Amino acid sequence: MIFRQTRALVVVLFRNWTRRARRLGDSPKRGFPVTFVLNLIFLLYFAPVLWKNGLAISQLGEFRSTGTRLGLYGIILLNASSALTLISPEMGKLRLPLRHSLLDELPVSPFPIMIATWLQSAPYIIISGAFLLGLSPELNHSPLGISYLTAFLLLLSLSACALGMALVSLIRALLPAHVRSKLTFLSVAGMLFGFLLLSFSKLAASLSWLTFDPWSGVFEWLAEFLTGPYHSIGSLAAIGLVATAALGITTACELRGYDRIDSAPPVRPNDRVKGALDMARVERLLGDRETGKRFAFILFILLGAALIFGQHAMKSSAAIDIPVLMATNIVYLSSMLTLQFASTMVKRDVDARALLSTLPIEPYQTLAGKVSALRRRLVPLAMLALIVLGMMVPRLGLSGVLWRGCIFYVSLWLLCDAGVSISFLSRGLGAAAAMGASGGASFATTLLMFPFIMANLSTNPFSALISLAMLWAISREAKRSAEKCVRWLDDSGDVERESEIWRALLVLSAFFATQGLVAQMLKFIGLSISDGRTLAVTYGISAIVLALLTYRERARLPLLVLWPKKPLALLLGLGGGALTAFGSVRLFRLITDHDLLPEGWLPKASEAAPTQGVWMVAVAVIIVAPIAEEFFFRGWLQTAIANQLSPQKRRRAILYGALVFAGIHVGSLYLPQFALGLIAGALYFWSGGLLPGILAHAMHNGLATWLGK
């Protein structure tokens, strides 16, 4: 019995952990749990951020009274409902024939699933812990406090899982089938609400009227109970008791024979889709079904409620810039919802692949339909954004709001395109953390989130446009790649099915993600951003990742040749690099001397020169960066683009490569980087070797840093 259950636990864990990013047309196949590891890394990235947020919130005067509570309720609800969402589909799956799992044959009890859920929620526990740690200064920096918090969170999440499981068992035992089928939906709604509560807990600082509610006493007691004196063994014991009780309920249901495998499947005609079918065109049929409308509706209601909260808060306090806060939340929420919706639509097709692959339609032919369905779903959110934008007029002025609004809508429009295309290509795409572990973040997500967030948080329209252009380029390439490669094929070993440019873009996103991750880690251990060591280590590690990933690709690339066929190119490289460096410094001086750019447009990076670790910076900037970046941008990206063009147009690859190269230098003046990209690209094209470009790059970086001081 114990052996069986242990085996079931292993199966449940590994079925979820080995889910590999695949394209839509692929048949299911097991793989190394790369996605899981990447997800974990990506989620850990958020921990320091949330810790910092928590700390900042806790320093607001009025916060202690209401903010803690709302934040905590958010965390609890998020954990509990994420457990529920994870569990309920698992329970559902138990009676579906799973071809690739042992689960069908095993008499699985819910407990292994519960434990697996608990273990899988590790990233969320860590994130919640970091947030709570930041919220409670009295717990900070005390070993006892931190260990209390760790135990508290582990127990809390276990009891949340247990409660979720008990709830599922009870529901299965007591409720009729049609109510049962709503379970997943309810838990997702709960999670969404938890997330909103969490993100709007900042507002609570000024919501003094909330203290008058009749539940106030209970809330006070709960808050005291949860965050109170950390030596209180009693609170831990109480949570343990809750978990035990929940486990007891589950066991009782089990013993009573409410067996999940035998339970009658809900049988009911599907009224929802009737009628819709009559007017459906091919695209709409594949794109716009089921949960979307309900989701959008609930979201609309919830956000409306949040808006009312916000207005009240505005009246009562000016401590927090509420419109800005709400705008940030809407940007974040819309990006995640877009990616989540896109991923759900594509996953649904994957489930029905046995049917779709026999019909005369290839997956990519449904792409346009899915994108327009997704856009329709986001209409309520877009309307809400309009209200928030209106609220921001007094602060930013009409023109400021106008360009920001345009950027938001255009970027959301592009994100829909890119989100669906990338879902087609990766299938693993989901929204980070917000919708529970079933979403899961991926590097492909970073690829979209980075330019999307950069575009929406830009302080000036110029850099916003650059980020928008990046987003457009990514969405275009993803679409092209999806149309070219995604077919109903059962052979995932078919290498021709991925475009070289697309793989290059994914590697680029890994480069960014590593940069962000390392920077966060360093900030966490106390290195300041102006410290040269931070810059050097952050950049160095990500550049090494870039170089290694490029090197790994060598079998598919034409030989990465270092030495040029024309030695003159080496001299030209050095000269070109010096030229762009001088140009860069001159341009910067010209702009500052004559005030050519409005306030906030000038890049900040050029102002701060590192005071410590200058040598490390020098090594990173003059040696590591040129080698890694030239290998990637010229050796891989430019070559890949050139391979896509006809021989007459092949030179254009230099231009496109240089545009991407300039585009990723966020916070720069872009122009010098563009010129450098053109020079290095042309030299590689002309001489056939990477060394001239590396010399140009090293010369540019070295001189610009030195002269810029």
Partner 1 sequence: MESLLNAKGLGKRFGAHDALAGVDFELGSGELLGLLGPNGAGKTTTLKLLLGMLRPTSGSASVLGFDCTEASLEVKRRIGYSPDEPAFYNFLTGRETIDFASEMRGVARADAWAEIEPMIRALDFSEQLEVLTSNYSHGMKKKLALLLALAHRPKVLLLDEPTNGLDPPTAHAVKELLIEKAAQGAGILLSTHLLEMADRMCTRVMILHRGTIVARGSVADVRARAGVAPEASLEDAFLKIVSSPT
Considering CB under 8 A, how many residues would be counted as binding partner 1? 35
Which range of residues in 28-36, 152-160, 358-366, 529-537 is near partner 1 by CB under 8 A? 358-366
Please tell me the distance from the alpha carbon of residue 240 to that of residue 546, in angstroms, as a whole number. 46
Q: Is the Cβ–Cβ distance between 490 and 25 less than 8 Å?
A: no
Smallest gap from Cβ 285 to partner 1, in A, equals 6
Residue 648 interacting with partner 1 (CB under 8 A): no
Cβ closest to partner 1, residue 143 vs residue 269: 269
Structure tokens at 106: 């095993």
Which range of residues in 2-10, 144-152, 270-278, 656-664 is near partner 1 by CB under 8 A? 270-278
Residue 359 interacting with partner 1 (CB under 8 A): yes
Residues 279-298 within binding reach of partner 1 (CB under 8 A):
280, 282, 285, 289-290
Residue 214 interacting with partner 1 (CB under 8 A): no
Amino acid at 285: L
Question: Which letter, b or e, does each residue of 576-600 get, where b requires 16 or more Cβ atoms within 10 Å of its Cβ?
Answer: bbbbbbebbbebbeebeeeeeeeee
Smallest gap from Cβ 20 to partner 1, in A, equals 18
Closest CA to 476 of 285, 664, 656: 656
Please tell me the distance from the alpha carbon of residue 597 to that of residue 522, in angstroms, as a whole number. 33
Residue 351 interacting with partner 1 (CB under 8 A): yes
* Alpha-carbon torsion (86, 87, 89, 90), positive or negative: positive
Please tell me the distance from the alpha carbon of residue 110 to that of residue 168, in angstroms, as a whole number. 10
Residue 495 interacting with partner 1 (CB under 8 A): no
Residue 357 interacting with partner 1 (CB under 8 A): yes
Residues 538-597 within binding reach of partner 1 (CB under 8 A):
none
Cβ closest to partner 1, residue 174 vs residue 273: 273
Which range of residues in 58-66, 95-103, 417-425, 540-548 is near partner 1 by CB under 8 A? 95-103
Residue 262 interacting with partner 1 (CB under 8 A): no
Structure tokens at 448: 């979209």
Which range of residues in 337-345, 352-360, 430-438, 619-627 is near partner 1 by CB under 8 A? 352-360
Structure tokens at 491: 């052979």
Cβ burial, residue 27 (10 Å; 0-12/13-18/19+): middle
Residue 268 interacting with partner 1 (CB under 8 A): yes
Which range of residues in 267-275, 398-406, 603-611, 693-701 is near partner 1 by CB under 8 A? 267-275
Smallest gap from Cβ 637 to partner 1, in A, equals 28
Smallest gap from Cβ 139 to partner 1, in A, equals 46
Q: Is the Cβ–Cβ distance between 432 and 452 less than 8 Å?
A: no
Residue 709 interacting with partner 1 (CB under 8 A): no
Please tell me the distance from the alpha carbon of residue 365 to that of residue 371, in angstroms, as a whole number. 11
Cβ closest to partner 1, residue 245 vs residue 489: 489
Q: Is the Cβ–Cβ distance between 493 and 27 less than 8 Å?
A: no
Residue 176 interacting with partner 1 (CB under 8 A): no
Question: Which letter, b or e, does each residue of 227-264 get, where b requires 16 or more Cβ atoms within 10 Å of its Cβ?
Answer: beebeeeebbeebeebbeebbebbeebbeeebebeeee
Structure tokens at 678: 């053109």
Residues 140-169 within binding reach of partner 1 (CB under 8 A):
none
Cβ closest to partner 1, residue 369 vs residue 692: 369
Q: Torsion-angle region of residue 526: left (phi > 0), alpha (psi -120 to 50) or beta?
A: left
Contacting partner 1 (CB under 8 A), which of 1, 3, 97, 526?
97
Please give the distance of CA 518 from its chain centroid, rounded to a whole number: 16
Smallest gap from Cβ 369 to partner 1, in A, equals 12
Smallest gap from Cβ 181 to partner 1, in A, equals 9
Cβ closest to partner 1, residue 359 vs residue 555: 359
Which range of residues in 184-192, 208-216, 357-365, 398-406 is near partner 1 by CB under 8 A? 357-365
Cβ closest to partner 1, residue 64 vs residue 289: 289
The crossing angle, in degrees rounded to 10, of helices 110-120 and 63-93 is 130
Please tell me the distance from the alpha carbon of residue 679 to that of residue 80, in angstroms, as a whole number. 56
Give the start-end residues of each E strand in 307-444: none
DSSP 53: H
Residue 484 interacting with partner 1 (CB under 8 A): no
Amino acid at 509: S
**Number of other CB atoms surrounding residue 569 within 10 Å:** 24
Residue 489 interacting with partner 1 (CB under 8 A): yes
Contacting partner 1 (CB under 8 A), which of 352, 568, 571, 609?
352
Residue 93 interacting with partner 1 (CB under 8 A): no
Smallest gap from Cβ 17 to partner 1, in A, equals 24
Cβ closest to partner 1, residue 179 vs residue 282: 282
Contacts of residue 359, defined as CB under 8 A and 6 or more positions apart, other chains included, come to none
Which range of residues in 81-89, 118-126, 259-267, 415-423 is near partner 1 by CB under 8 A? 259-267
Cβ closest to partner 1, residue 99 vs residue 141: 99
CA atoms within 13 A on the CB side of 389: 20
Residue 361 interacting with partner 1 (CB under 8 A): yes
Give the start-end residues of each E strand in 68-172: none
Residue 269 interacting with partner 1 (CB under 8 A): yes
Smallest gap from Cβ 370 to partner 1, in A, equals 14
Contacting partner 1 (CB under 8 A), which of 1, 61, 262, 274?
274
Closest CA to 19 of 343, 513, 487, 438: 438
Q: Residue numbers of the site for partner 1 (CB under 8 A)?
A: 96-97, 99, 265-270, 273-274, 277, 280, 282, 285, 289-290, 348, 351-355, 357-362, 488-491, 493-494
